[in-house]
Structures are given as structure tokens and as C-alpha cells.
Amino acid sequence: MEKLVNEFSFGLFIWQTVLFVLLVLLLRKFAWKPILKAVNEREEGIKNALAAAEDAKKEMQNVSADNERLLKEARAEREAMLKEAREIREKMVADAKVQAQKEGDKIIRKAQESIEGEKKAAIADIKNEVASLSVEIAEKILQAQLDNKDKQLKLVDQLVDDIKLR
């Protein structure tokens, strides 16, 4: 603060005062008038808005009865839509159950067909194995001495016992 007092320049003070006064005059001419005009316009706009709000309030009171009627209609329509949605849902569930039953039956039928096919294949394999064993037994019988009947019967009994043991 002392530095400011010691270095005070009277000429600089005069120039700053002149510039400040000039700035105030320019602001008064170019800024305050438009600002005051804008404030007055804003005040007028607010008055008009208040009047419009009062009119709207009166109209809202008139529309309130219509809103209540519309609300009742909307509730009735909502109830009808909910009832329809419930019916559609129940129909969809029933259709889904029927479709699921059909799909389940189809899967079971395919599984049964597959089992039957595998059963037939297993039987065919068993038949092939039996045929193979029969040919093998026949070969062994033919290889044995065919001249001795007791020996042939004994050999057949032995082969049959061998087959039962497997």
C-alpha cells in the first residue's frame, strides 16, 4: 500500500478519471438504454405470460372434466386389453403344450424306431455269429473221422458243451 502512495502520479490519475467518465457515458448511451429496453420488454412479457397462465388455469378447470372422462375410458380400455392379453397368453400356452406333446411323441417315436433298428442289427449280428459257429462246428465235425459213429456223437456232444460254456 505504501508503494502505491509513494509512486502516485497525478497525471495518470487524471487520465484514468477521464477514461472512466468516458466509459460511463459510452455505457449509458450504448448499453443502459438497450438494457432498460430489454428489461421493460421482459416485464411486459412476464405480464402477458401471467395473463396467459391465468387463462390457461381457467381452461384447465374446463378440461378437467374431459380428462376425468378420458381417464375412465382409458381404464376400461386397459382392462379390455389386459383381458385380451390373458386370453392370448392362455392360448399360446395351450398351443405350446400341444406342440411340445407333438414334439415329445415324435422324439419317442424316433427313439423307438432307433431302438428297433439297433435290435434288428443285434439280432442280425447274433444270426451271423451263430452261422459262423455252425460252419465252424461243421468243419470240425467233417475233419474228425467220419467212419466211427460213436466218435462222431461224442464229438458233437463235446462241441455243443463247448458252445454252451462260451
| pLDDT for res 8 | 74
Q: Is residue 141 part of a domain?
A: no
Domain that holds residue 29: 2-123
| pLDDT for res 146 | 59
**For the chain, the helix, strand and coil percentages under 3-state DSSP, each to the nearest 5:** 95, 0, 5
Q: How far is CA 49 from the centre of its chain?
A: 48
| pLDDT for res 1 | 62
Q: Is residue 108 part of a domain?
A: yes
Q: Is residue 66 part of a domain?
A: yes
Q: Is residue 165 part of a domain?
A: no
Report how far residue 91's alpha carbon sits from residue 98's, in angstroms, rounded to the nearest whole number.
11
Q: What is the chain's pLDDT, residue by residue, as a tens digit (166 residues)?
A: 677 667 778 888 899 999 999 999 988 888 888 888 889 999 999 999 999 999 998 888 888 888 888 999 999 999 999 999 999 999 999 999 999 999 999 999 999 999 999 999 998 888 888 878 887 877 776 665 555 677 777 777 887 787 765 5
How many structural domains comprise the chain? 1
Q: Please give the angle made by the CA atoms of 131, 136 and 141, to the nearest 5 degrees.
A: 125
Residue 145 CB partners (closer than 8 Å, separation 6+): 151, 152
Q: Is residue 25 part of a domain?
A: yes
Q: What is the pTM of this model?
A: 0.35
| pLDDT for res 164 | 64
Q: Is residue 12 part of a domain?
A: yes
Q: Is residue 69 part of a domain?
A: yes
Report how far residue 141's alpha carbon sits from residue 162's, in angstroms, rounded to the nearest whole number.
14
Q: How far is residue 62 from each of residues 67, 73, 130, 147, measured CA to CA in Å?
A: 9, 18, 101, 128
Q: Is residue 164 part of a domain?
A: no
| pLDDT for res 101 | 93
Question: Could you tell me which of 143, 125, 136, 126 has the C-alpha nearest to residue 162?
Answer: 136
